[in-house]
Amino acid sequence: MSMSSVARLAGTVVLVATCAFAAKAQTSGEPVKIGAIVSVTGAGAGLGIPERNGMLLAEKTINAKGGINGRPIRLIIEDDASNPDTALSKANELLFGQKVIGLLGPSLTASTVAVGGVTHANKIPQIAFTGIGPAVEKERKCVAHVLPPQKLNAQALLEYAKSIKAAKVGVLHDAGYGNVVMAEIRPIAESYGVKLVAVEKFEVGATDTTTQAAKVKAAQPDAVFIIATSATPFRNVKQLQMTQPVVAAIGSSSYEYVNAMGPGADNVVIPEFVVGEDPLPHQKAFVDLYKQTYNSTPKNFETAGWDAVHIMAQAIGKAGPNATPQAVCDAMRGPYSGVLANYDFAADDMTGIPLSSYVFSKLVGGKYTRIPFRIAQ
Amino acid sequence: MTLSLVLQAVFAGVTNGMVYALVGMGLAAIFKGSRVINAMQGEFSVIGAMTTVLLLTKAGWPYPAAILGGSLAGALVGAFIEVAFVRYMAAKNASEDSFLLLTIGLALTLSASILFFVGRDGHLLPPLGGEGVLIVLDAVMQFHALWLIAIGIAVTLLLRAFFHRTTVGLSMMAASIDADGAATTGINVRRMRTFTFILGGLLGAVGGILVTPLIGVDYQLGLNLTLKGFAAAVLGGLTNPLGAAVGGITLGLVESLAIIGISSSYKDVVAFSVLIVIMILMPHGMLGRAGRRGG
Amino acid sequence: MPTEPILSLSEIGHRFGGLNVLRSVSFDVPEGGIVGLIGPNGSGKTTLFNIVSGYIRPLMGTVTYRGVPLVRETIQKRGLAGLVRTFQMPQVFEQMTVIENVMAGCAKLTRTTMLQDLLRTPAARDQMRVIRERAEAACERFHLCGLRDRPAASLTAGQRRILELARAVVGQPRLLLLDEPSSGLNTQEIENLREWIVRLNAEGITILLVSHDMGLMTVARTVHTLYFGEIIASGDMASIQRDPRVREVYLGV
Amino acid sequence: MTRRLLWIAVALVIWAMLPFVVPRNIADLLVFTGIYTVAGLGIGLLLGHCGIVNLAQATFYGLGAYASAYCTVMMGLPSAVGFVVGAAISMTLAYVIGRPILRLTGYFLALGTLALSAIASALFFEWDWLTGGTLGIGGIPKIDIFGFVLDRPSRYYFFVWIVAFACMAAARNLVDSRTGLMLRAMRDSNTAAASLSIDLQGLRTRVFVVCALFGSLAGSLFAHHVSFVSTQSFTVDRSISFLLIPVIGGATSIPGIVAGAVFVTFLPEFLSNLGDIHQILFGLALVAVVVMLPDGLMGALNRIRARYAARGNRNAD
């Protein structure tokens, strides 16, 4: 190694260092601490892990572009193990221990309502990865939701059933998530010309629902709704040679469930928001970035994580450097066109997602495809 | 309540029942051989099934070899548990409850380890006899389910013969009924207990492998299988494996008939209520054979 | 017989599976008396004993206690009526001290509800005081004060038998059933036991004594001999020892 | 004797200062420890004194919580009513169900309580008109005593621990009372106790009812602390962690129950920031305690103290 090559080598090293340093320089100053609680373990892990990936990607992107008015974001992500009282302890730690400015998550409705009690009392802005749930959440004006209320999901399912002229519908749903969506479907089914000929429930985490599926089959419906967070009912419907089209709720739409459905993952239509294989134009940039970073295709919950961080960052930016949490709350309440959908957090359901934002995917041989059907607003 | 619905319920009931029976038989075998109620019996099934999945998909073994590997894995874990823990506690003649608590602890540890090392998602295995189905009066029965029931019956008869006709089986029974008595006749009680756990592990693993093509296996499946296996073994009087088979089938049928009779969400309520009633009214299980020391 | 018998057994029969353990046993136990029941092992003595004390319900025959036939009465109810038994192997409460064992015997004389005990109301404290006083008195009387605070597990066979006796007596029984009380005792302890039997009987406790120990049995006024589930001879000790059938059974001569 | 009083005084001072010294999430955990102590006391009585493995405590814990939630949120009644209604329902259910189930013994009783717990958690899901199902009931008000609202862990801590001390005193009274005497006799020898006219079945049922009372009280305290209840908090695994309290702490000693409660609440918290491995460590911790310390932490402590004392005496001789 002659002296000149050493010198040249040193020069390049210095050059590279300054660039990196320069990039870093733009985000000097005290980091903005944002807390997050997701279910990385337990029953809700199918939601929590994609949400976490979406949030981390958003943090990296925002910081690379200079953070919020020059200050980098620091996400502190905790796992509530799909348990509401763990979620509450973690919320206490984030809000009062770490003194975060805002809170993202949790992934499950039960944890959201538990944590919402604390954020609402202390006026800390929160963006939950759940649809608005029980009545008590309606008064919590600081808790925004990046996923639609179950009423909207119910309408989307019924809109599709009406579009394929399925007058008689059979429903197979679990006692948890299924119950909640079912409670919204029952009152409005008539108005869509849909008659519920069979409604069969099974316990969460059931290992076999063949008998329930057989009862639905016996009612000879035109289409079958499956509302659950497990793949078992999809397999049983296929095992019973039921030929009717299956319409599933957004909760069943993840690659993990699709793999576990095995042969059941065919002729299944799902109203959701993101079909990574064939994204809407405004979603393309995010989908490509996600594929490049995690080399897997993003779906609804990854996108929800991504949007949540951006919404919080924008609100903090708008509210100014040392704004009070209440000021960030107010700044958050307004329209925001996200990758998942167009929100309006000023709406009374704190979500404001219109029916037209729904995209309908169809599972063909275990692969997602996007069908042209959209709900006209 | 069409006939095909009832038939479908019976098919589903017998299939599930046979799975509960296999897990229950493992439990009854271990209780018969060591007086220990094994609360981690379901984990043997998960270990057996997961090993088969990994051997099949990752190591690329042929299916029959993978099944053998999975069954052996269950047996090995059974042996390890007995040698590492049960033997030590038995030497300190620990109480019934502490054995139950030991196996609960092991169940928690094993399911968490599977979550950590193998991951969270569920896996399926290719069904025996292909994807075909048998349709009778519009009620559907998968070929694999037929295989499962056939193998279950074969295992039951094999087990019965093993305990009553082979010397190892007889000495296992003797060791459990009266350890000191058996020791005086030259039976190595400790080795017998290890064999019992190996047998229990093997049965659990076979149960797990057979059920995976139907319901898929993940790290949480263990506790559910243990609970239903418990119920099957208790309904069968706990000390005789054949009883566990009858108990399992009964439990499966009660569950699926409850679904069409009452409503699908009361399935577990009905199944466990039946279990409690039978435990109280028929202390020796449905087959009424005495020799059950646990209750 | 001036007074009505405290206990009378009529045609008691029992079977375990195919094995006929008791064929048809009938005899009375007069109030205030000491009645003995002897017989080789396997003669059905303990089964008869378990039937009288309520641990087993006989397939045939009735047990009448103070004129009342005992059919579905539980062990506890018979105890409250004064019919108390001891066990072949003395069943002392191992992890409890001697005084606590005796106190447990007094529990049946006192009444407290769960709520009173939870809140430690004056009534509960008072009942506890009564229990403690009675137990102290019994310890004094049975010369157990030296061992008062030692766990029962550390007692010798003789001391365990006396403790079991004290615990039964402190509950003011009327009829005391002693099951092989001399088993495992040395001669000195058997002599001590014999004195206690006589003294308790003198205080009005009727005693039904089951034993295969001829020496101790001399304390009984009438003795019944049980052989393969049947009474083969009755009478005082002297006549029993001369009875040819008993000699044949016992001495094989 | 004064040395013991001194120790108690020091402990009380530390106890009173603790919530203000530690960070808020530790205070939050200390509140949970108090709640778990109350629930654990019931299990300890059954396990330590009657040798009964009770895996149904989550059911009574749930009933207490749902009663408090329903009375305060749906019917707008004061929180005290929730405690009383919850306790009444739990005790009645424990009596009605306890009588048949407690005829079982050994494994079968443990399995019976496990089945009871499974039935209850299925019904909690099913009767969503009462329990709110998976959505649960939110907005449970904080307890206020004469206007003083206990909304922060540091304040609620005192209320919870005063209730816990009262329950400990009640348990201590029970152990020293006539009932406690009969319980210990029953545990040492069922047959001998029966011969002394001790009503075994009645005793077991009554202690089961007391255990349900403690479970329900703990449930109501939980509801007002988390101000939200849902089925996920009353599953079979919750019953298992309640059972661990006396097992780990030592079933027959009241301080053992507190030690067990600390173990069950703090261990998962500290292990959880080690990532996904924490559940394995928790399972292994249970196995280690069951194998190494058959009579729990307190038992081991006593053995060490005894050995230490023995060595002390030997030196003194």
Residue A125 and residue A50 in one domain: yes
Taking an 8 Å cut-off on Cβ atoms, the answer to whether C100 and D191 are in contact is: no
Distance in angstroms (rounded) separating the CA atoms of residues A375 and A148: 15
Does residue A10 belong to any structural domain of this protein?
no
Interface of D with A in 63-122 (CB under 8 A): 73, 122
| Chains A and B touch each other (3 or more Cβ pairs < 8 A) | yes
Q: How confident is the model at residue D311 (pLDDT cuts 50, 70, 90)?
A: low
Does residue C2 belong to any structural domain of this protein?
no
Interface test with B, best of D107, D243, D271, D280 (most B CBs within 10 A): D107
pLDDT at B288 over 60: no
Residue C13 and residue C135 in one domain: no
Does residue D2 belong to any structural domain of this protein?
no
Query: How distant is the Cα of B142 from the closest Cα of chain D, in angstroms?
Result: 29
Q: How confident is the model at residue B292 (pLDDT cuts 50, 70, 90)?
A: very low
pLDDT tens track for D274-286: 766 777 888 888 8
- Last residue in a domain, options C113, C133, C154: C154
Interface test with D, best of C55, C77, C91 (most D CBs within 10 A): C91
Q: How confident is the model at residue B290 (pLDDT cuts 50, 70, 90)?
A: very low
CA distances from A365 to A36, A161, A369 (A): 36, 21, 10
Does residue C87 belong to any structural domain of this protein?
yes
Class of residue C78 by CB neighbours under 10 A (exposed 0-12, middle 13-18, buried 19+): buried
For residues C181-196, give the mean pLDDT. 87
Higher pLDDT: D7 or D57? It is D57
pLDDT at C113 over 80: yes
Measured between beta carbons, the chain D residues lying within 8 angstroms of B100 are 53, 107, 110
Query: How distant is the Cα of D50 from the closest Cα of chain A, in angstroms?
Result: 31
pLDDT tens track for B126-149: 888 777 778 887 788 888 888 899
Residue C130 and residue C239 in one domain: no
Distance in angstroms (rounded) separating the CA atoms of residues B291 and B285: 11
For A39, name the nearest residue in chain D, comparing CA atoms only: D276
For residues D116-124, give the mean pLDDT. 88
Residue B36 CA, chain-centre distance (Å), reads: 14
pLDDT at A133 over 80: no
pLDDT tens track for C95-110: 899 999 999 999 888 8
For residues C88-92, give the mean pLDDT. 88
Distance in angstroms (rounded) separating the CA atoms of residues B197 and B97: 18
Distance in angstroms (rounded) separating the CA atoms of residues D268 and D281: 9
Specify the pLDDT at position D88: 96
Query: How distant is the Cα of B43 from the closest Cα of chain D, in angstroms?
Result: 13
Interface of A with D in 261-280 (CB under 8 A): none
Measured between beta carbons, the chain D residues lying within 8 angstroms of B269 are 119, 122-123, 126
Domain count, chain A: 2
Residue A141 and residue A287 in one domain: yes
Listing DSSP states for C20-36 in one string gives EEEEEEEEEE-TT-EEE
Residue C75 and residue C111 in one domain: no
Which H or E run contains B232? helix B221-235
Interface test with B, best of A39, A41, A179, A208 (most B CBs within 10 A): A208
Mean pLDDT of chain D, nearest integer: 86
Does residue A95 belong to any structural domain of this protein?
yes
For residues B281-295, give the mean pLDDT. 52
Specify the pLDDT at position D51: 80
Nearest C-alpha neighbor of B147 from the set B52, B48, B14: B14
Q: Any chain D CB within 8 A of the CB of B270?
A: no
Specify the pLDDT at position D276: 66
- Last residue in a domain, options C114, C133, C154: C154
Residue D190 CA, chain-centre distance (Å), reads: 26
Nearest C-alpha neighbor of C191 from the set C162, C168, C169: C162
Specify the pLDDT at position D162: 93
Does residue C179 belong to any structural domain of this protein?
yes
Distance in angstroms (rounded) separating the CA atoms of residues D121 and B274: 17
**Which tokens is A23 given?**
């990039």
Domain count, chain D: 1
pLDDT at C115 over 90: no
Q: Kindly state the percentage of chain A with pLDDT values over 70.
A: 92
Measured between beta carbons, the chain D residues lying within 8 angstroms of C134 are none
Output the domain CATH number for residue D175: 1.10.3470
ipTM of the predicted structure? 0.81
pLDDT at A8 over 70: no
pLDDT at D134 over 70: yes
Q: Kindly state the percentage of chain B with pLDDT values over 90.
A: 21
Does residue A16 belong to any structural domain of this protein?
no
pLDDT tens track for A250-305: 888 888 888 888 888 888 999 999 888 888 899 999 999 999 999 988 999 999 99
Q: How confident is the model at residue C184 (pLDDT cuts 50, 70, 90)?
A: confident
Measured between beta carbons, the chain D residues lying within 8 angstroms of B34 are none
Domains of chain B with CATH codes: 3-281 (1.10.3470)
Dihedral angle, C-alpha A124, A130, A135, A137, nearest 10 °: 0
Higher pLDDT: B3 or C102? It is C102
Q: How confident is the model at residue C16 (pLDDT cuts 50, 70, 90)?
A: confident
Range of the domain at A97: 32-148+282-354
Query: How distant is the Cα of D214 from the closest Cα of chain C, in angstroms?
Result: 12
Mean pLDDT of chain A, nearest integer: 85
Specify the pLDDT at position C167: 92
**Phi and psi (nearest 5°) for A165?**
55, 45
Does residue A5 belong to any structural domain of this protein?
no
The SS3 of residue A106 is: coil
Strand order in the sheet with A102-104: A73-79, A32-38, A102-104, A126-128, A143-145
Residue A176 and residue A269 in one domain: yes
Residue C110 and residue C177 in one domain: no
Query: How distant is the Cα of B65 from the closest Cα of chain A, in angstroms?
Result: 22
CA distances from D292 to C6, D47, D242, D288 (A): 55, 19, 20, 6
Range of the domain at D239: 28-297
Distance in angstroms (rounded) separating the CA atoms of residues A363 and A275: 11
Specify the pLDDT at position C244: 84
For D236, name the nearest residue in chain B, comparing CA atoms only: B223
pLDDT at D298 over 60: yes
Range of the domain at C149: 94-154
Q: How confident is the model at residue A225 (pLDDT cuts 50, 70, 90)?
A: very high
Distance in angstroms (rounded) separating the CA atoms of residues D235 and D249: 22
Measured between beta carbons, the chain A residues lying within 8 angstroms of B131 are 263
pLDDT at C127 over 50: yes
Enumerate helices (H) and strands (E) in chain C, giving the number of each.
10, 10
Residue C203 and residue C233 in one domain: yes
With both helix axes pointing from N to C terminus, report the angle between A300-319 and A325-332 in degrees, rounded to the nearest 10: 120
pLDDT at C93 over 90: yes
Query: How distant is the Cα of D242 from the closest Cα of chain B, in angstroms?
Result: 12
Q: Any chain D CB within 8 A of the CB of B36?
A: no
Instruction: Measure CB to CB from residue D210 to each of C84, C85, C114 and give the nearest one.
Output: C114
Mean pLDDT of chain B, nearest integer: 84
pLDDT at C245 over 90: no
pLDDT tens track for B238-266: 777 778 888 999 999 988 888 888 877 78
Q: Any chain B CB within 8 A of the CB of A172?
A: no
Longest dimension (CA), chain A: 86
Residue A132 and residue A182 in one domain: no
Distance in angstroms (rounded) separating the CA atoms of residues C161 and C141: 15
pLDDT at A107 over 80: yes
Residue C82 and residue C11 in one domain: yes
Distance in angstroms (rounded) separating the CA atoms of residues D209 and D221: 18
Interface of A with D in 107-166 (CB under 8 A): 108-110, 113-114, 116-117, 121, 133-134, 136-137
Taking an 8 Å cut-off on Cβ atoms, the answer to whether D116 and B279 are in contact is: no
Distance in angstroms (rounded) separating the CA atoms of residues B187 and B197: 17
Does residue D236 belong to any structural domain of this protein?
yes
User: Among all chains, which residue has been given the structure tokens 């009505």?
Assistant: C4
Nearest C-alpha neighbor of A152 from the set A188, A116, A127: A188
Does residue D282 belong to any structural domain of this protein?
yes
Instruction: Name chain C's partners: 3 or more CB pairs within 8 A.
Output: D
Taking an 8 Å cut-off on Cβ atoms, the answer to whether C79 and D196 are in contact is: yes
Higher pLDDT: D77 or C42? It is D77
For residues A231-259, give the mean pLDDT. 88
Angle at C140 between CA C135 and CA C141, to 5 degrees: 95
Specify the pLDDT at position B283: 67
Output the domain CATH number for residue A187: 3.40.50.2300
Measured between beta carbons, the chain B residues lying within 8 angstroms of D286 are 101, 104-105, 108-109
Does residue A17 belong to any structural domain of this protein?
no
Dihedral angle, C-alpha B49, B51, B53, B57, nearest 10 °: -170
Does residue A163 belong to any structural domain of this protein?
yes
- The residue type of B241 is P
Q: How confident is the model at residue A17 (pLDDT cuts 50, 70, 90)?
A: very low
Higher pLDDT: D91 or A25? It is D91
Does residue C82 belong to any structural domain of this protein?
yes
Strand partners, D149: D144
Instruction: Measure CB to CB from residue D173 to each of C85, C91, C119 and give the nearest one.
Output: C119
Q: What is the pTM of this model?
A: 0.84
Output the domain CATH number for residue C30: 3.40.50.300
Instruction: Measure CB to CB from residue B12 to each of A211, A235, A262 and give the nearest one.
Output: A211
Specify the pLDDT at position A21: 44
pLDDT at A20 over 60: no
